Structure formats: C-alpha cells, structure tokens
Amino acid sequence: MPPLDKLIERIKARPPEADFSDVRQLLEGFGWALAREKGSHAMFTKEGQRTIAVPKVGGRKVKRTYLNQICEILGLEK
C-alpha cells in the first residue's frame, strides 16, 4: 500500500489527535499548498477552493474535530 493510502486510512479512522506533519502530507497529497503558518494556525490553499485553516495544539497535534472537517472537504469516507 503506498504511503499516502496508509496515511488516508489513519486519518479516516478519526484518532483523537493526529500529527500536524501527517495532516500536512495528506493535504499536500490532494493538491493543497501550505500558504502560511502563523502562531498555532496553518493555512492551506488550492486553486478554486476555499482556504482551510488548521489549528495546532501544542504546535504539533490536530484535534479530531478538524480531522473530520478535512475528511469532509477531501471527500474521504469513514
């Protein structure tokens, strides 16, 4: 299984928290780009789509609530 597929499966499982690096890799795998990072928030953009703001807890973790939103935006099903 390719690394992106494994990452998709991990995020689709909706853990309580995920590493920001995994979330970033997932979004970039779907064509999103990190536009800016300021404080505890990272902003991802993609042509023709609205910007996704990803808040980070402790600078490294992303909570399940935001994983749910990202899965919905990317069209990933449980």
Report whether 21 contacts 11 (CB < 8 A): no
Q: Is the CB of residue 59 less than 8 Å from the CB of residue 48?
A: no
Q: So what's the pLDDT on residue 34?
A: 97
Higher pLDDT, 42 or 57: 42
Q: What does each C-alpha distance from 77 to 8, 9, 26, 46, 62 come to in angstroms?
A: 10, 10, 14, 21, 19
Residues 6+ apart with CB under 8 A from 20: 42, 54, 56, 59, 60, 61, 62
Entry pTM: 0.90
**If pLDDT is split at 50, 70 and 90, which confidence band does 1 have?**
low
Q: According to the model, what pLDDT value does residue 57 have? A: 86
Quick one: DSSP state of residue 49?
Answer: S
Q: Work out the average pLDDT over 18-39.
A: 95
In tens, the pLDDT along 47-67 reads 999 999 999 988 799 999 999
- CATH fold for domain 3-74: Metal Transport, Frataxin; Chain A (3.30.920)
Residue 58 exposed, middle or buried by CB count within 10 Å (0-12, 13-18, 19+): exposed
